[in-house]
Structure 1
Amino acid sequence: MYAPEFAADPYAAYAQMRERYGSLAPVYLDPDVPATLVIGYHTAVRILHDPERFPADPRIWQQNVPTHCPVLPMLEWRPNALRNAGPAHERYRAANTAALGEARQHSLHSTVQQIAVPLINDICEVGHADLLAQYAHPLTFRALNAVLGCPPEVGQRVATGMSAVFEGVNAEAGNAMLAEALAELVDLKRSHPGMDITTGLLMHPARLNEFEMMHQLVTLYGAGIEPQQNLIANTLRLILSDDRYSGDVMRGSLSVRDALDELLFTDPPLANYCVSYPPSPVEIDNVVLPAHQPVVISMAACNNDPAAVSQQRAGNRSHLTWSAGPHACPAQPLAYLIAQVGIEQILDALPEMELAVPADQLTYRPGPFHRALTGLPVRFPPLPHLTLP
């Protein structure tokens, strides 16, 4: 799953796995990291709702994994809700859910608009752009910094470190950069609290210590930069390449939210994740999974499982892209809002925008976890600058 060939056509690979193995396929996340990939929808739902047999704590597994392993930063234990079970998971999740719930969605809508307009002005007179590098990434990055109360210079180091972790290239150095930058953010918000998620975490009754705080922020940035920018870019790719959307969104019969729902169903930006580590051998679907080996949910394959797929994608949120069960993503409303407002802003500003290359010539970055374009080139008639609302 780490090979460029997999990134080029993962859905063909899922189909081959399904034909050969059924709902559970043996895979390699790295040459030295065997895992089981769950590609059956109903099997995934059972696993996600069974934290006793499929806990998310990887500490025994990682004892035998080299520290330089490129996928280790994405899988290793951290003191956060994503990598714990039982009371520890409940404590971390309570703090995160409360802090995220206090985010002001109305003000975030305005914040995203304020971020989008200058980015659009940087490209609108030129007539062409790479929407991934010049719009989706900076929009996501600045919006996340705003809700976390993170200064841009600290956030830039976070983004660089997080990118290395997701790519699996210089992941160990990226992990160290990420930790240093987030420790600086925690110190800043402790001395200068604000109306932001970081301050909310610090003030929560869970009384998170410095180390725990840093790792809550790792989780928020991990979910908030790479998957979010890919959600925006991949949804724009869908809208600009599919006649059902390229016409209907502009005329209003289908909404950007419809496109987001379809993209989340058919081609999720975080394609394979939701990892668990059975503490003992466990049988499921007549397959015995080994103890202490990663079990990875393929949201992409499960959402498209012929045994469960629905023809109605717009408005259908039965997909597993946000996970399910005790580890379901608590940030869905914020993620939807940032993506929807960002996409609506650029479609409204550049209504004649089109892909600069055929959709089937777009390429994707390798990596076992994400579904990430290398770029999204577009062209459009040059237009004058927008004014901020």
Structure 2
Amino acid sequence: MDVHPTPVPPPGCPAHDSGGGVPLYGPEFAADPQAYYDYLRHFGPTAPVELAPGVAATLVTDYAAALDLLRDPAFRKDARQWRDLRSGKVPEDSPVVPLLAYRPNCMFADGAEHQRLRLAVTESMMRIDSRRLAQITEQVSAYLIAQFSARGSADLMADYAKQLPLFVFNELFGCPAEIGDRVLFGIAGMFDGVNAAESAQLLHRAVGELVTLKRERPGDDVTSWLMGHEADLTDEEMVHQLSLLLGAGAEPLRNLIGNTLHRILTHDRGAYQDVRNAVNDTLWKNPPIANFAAHYPADDRMFAGQRVTTGQLMLISFAAANFGMALSESHHAANRASLAWSAGPHACPSQRPATGITVTAVDDLLGQLPDIELAVPARLLTWRPGPFHRGLNALPVRFSAVQAMGQPAVPVPAQHAMARAEHRAEHRRAGSAGKWSQFLAWLRK
């Protein structure tokens, strides 16, 4: 008879010394999250975790249980029901609160209010023409690649994956240069932790100006379509929906592009002649958002064999649920049913454009730099710590240098100096001409 030993926490996991939840933060978790998920599964379909010091949550790690929760209206999205935050047990300045606390947008709404806001967002996003989206993505990717192709080396996270989604979204949402620069700056600061509170305020003000502009001069863009929707959103509702779409859309897409490139560069390139297969494998085995989709039970109840209580914070582990299903006998490589986009009434409304942007961005990069390869051993790559996302700190690569047409090759040391100077200058000017202005100038040559 087989004897299965009781799993123990991964090396370095503070759960070794505590009876509390398993921590999903810190370098140990970021380095090997699957070891943590393997350990969490011994609790059953749900497990006690800690998102930050003192912030307890229940994590759903089983695929079937995750689907049940995501589709069950008895689990609410309104974060004002979060019991531990209401009671003061979770400090308001906790690093996870900004992404979990209530805002008046469709992600935190339930019932009829959710349907009204969600329909406006979904129908506006559906109006994006796939050919126009591909054209914009190709233009942005060509611009970004031209900035580093002559060097023969790059960090694909900082130089490509991080910037491309923001540039594409600015175009789709009709941001003029004077507003788009601040949108880029605000989003980057929020996710990079560079004066996060000030960056969030900057983004909010910039989006407010965009709403005012589009009220006066609507255009052929997502902002104007959302504004003209029959849901008749107020200016405040517009600002919150747009901030959600711009901010929450940028981080997952950044990681999806980076993680897909990581998968291609660390596996047999021949297995991914079709980039869509690499994207699909990434969504199953290394999704860009690992743990999220906060829900709160509306009452005390049993769920997946465990008792849960009103207002208890519950999250879905897309990474654990997907990986467990991907290892099962019933899974097939072409299966598109991963939970990376969530499921149920709150499934990601940007799945189609996000997939299109990723496929085009990766295809363009590999097409222009066909001999691209990792510049360091894969084992030396590091991942950004945090309970929610799954993204690389950096993805250094090398390739045969390509001189951009009409541009003289710049020596590598000078390029590095220019990049550092640009980085410093951007942080000095949160509103003057920046990267978005530079891209628009390049596009109109």
Which of the five TM-score ranges fits, normalised by the shorter chain? over 0.9
* Pairing 1:37–2:59 present: yes
TM-score normalised by length of structure 2: 0.81
- Written as runs of structure 1 = structure 2, the 5 A alignment for 1:213-362 is 213-243=238-268, 246-249=269-272, 254-305=273-324, 309=328, 314-362=333-381
* Pairing 1:57–2:78 present: yes
Alpha-carbon offset, residue 223 of structure 1: 3.1
- Written as runs of structure 1 = structure 2, the 5 A alignment for 1:20-31 is 21-31=43-53
Residue 316 of structure 1 aligns with an amino acid whose one-letter code is N
Q: Is the 8 A contact 1:136 1:230 kept in 2?
A: yes
- Written as runs of structure 1 = structure 2, the 5 A alignment for 1:36-185 is 36-51=58-73, 53-61=74-82, 62-63=85-86, 64=88, 65-166=90-191, 170-185=195-210
1:282–1:175 CA distance, 2 compared to 1 (3 A): farther
Deviations 1:57-114 (A, max 9, x none): 1113243343322211211112221101100000001100111011121111111111
Q: Is the 8 A contact 2:58 2:314 kept in 1?
A: yes
Q: Which runs of 5+ in 1 are unaligned?
A: none
1:223–1:386 CA distance, 2 compared to 1 (3 A): farther
Alpha-carbon offset, residue 165 of structure 1: 4.2
Q: Is the 8 A contact 1:41 1:308 kept in 2?
A: no
1:166–1:29 CA distance, 2 compared to 1 (3 A): farther
| Secondary structure of residue in 1 paired with 2:76 | coil
Aligned counterpart, 1:6: 29
- Fraction of identical pairs, as percent: 44
| Secondary structure of residue in 2 paired with 1:28 | strand
Alpha-carbon offset, residue 286 of structure 1: 1.8
Q: Is the 8 A contact 2:284 2:326 kept in 1?
A: no
| Secondary structure of residue in 1 paired with 2:297 | coil
More off after superposition, 272-281 vs 345-354 = 272-281
Q: Is the 8 A contact 1:167 1:367 kept in 2?
A: no
Which structure carries more relative contact order (alpha carbon 8 Å, separation 6+)?
1
Alpha-carbon offset, residue 153 of structure 1: 4.4
More off after superposition, 63-72 vs 317-326 = 63-72
Alpha-carbon offset, residue 386 of structure 1: 5.6
Alpha-carbon distance in structure 1 between the residues aligned to 2:392 and 2:144 = 19
More off after superposition, 56-65 vs 166-175 = 166-175
* Pairing 1:187–2:208 present: no
Q: Is the 8 A contact 2:325 2:331 kept in 1?
A: no
1:12–1:242 CA distance, 2 compared to 1 (3 A): same
Residue 70 of structure 1 aligns with an amino acid whose one-letter code is P
Q: Is the 8 A contact 1:277 1:291 kept in 2?
A: yes
Alpha-carbon offset, residue 163 of structure 1: 4.2
Alpha-carbon distance in structure 2 between the residues aligned to 1:302 and 1:118 = 37
TM-score normalised by length of structure 1: 0.92
- Written as runs of structure 1 = structure 2, the 5 A alignment for 1:364-379 is 364-379=383-398
Alpha-carbon distance in structure 2 between the residues aligned to 1:385 and 1:242 = 29
Q: Which runs of 5+ in 2 are unaligned?
A: 1-23, 407-442
Structure whose alpha-carbon radius of gyration is higher: 2
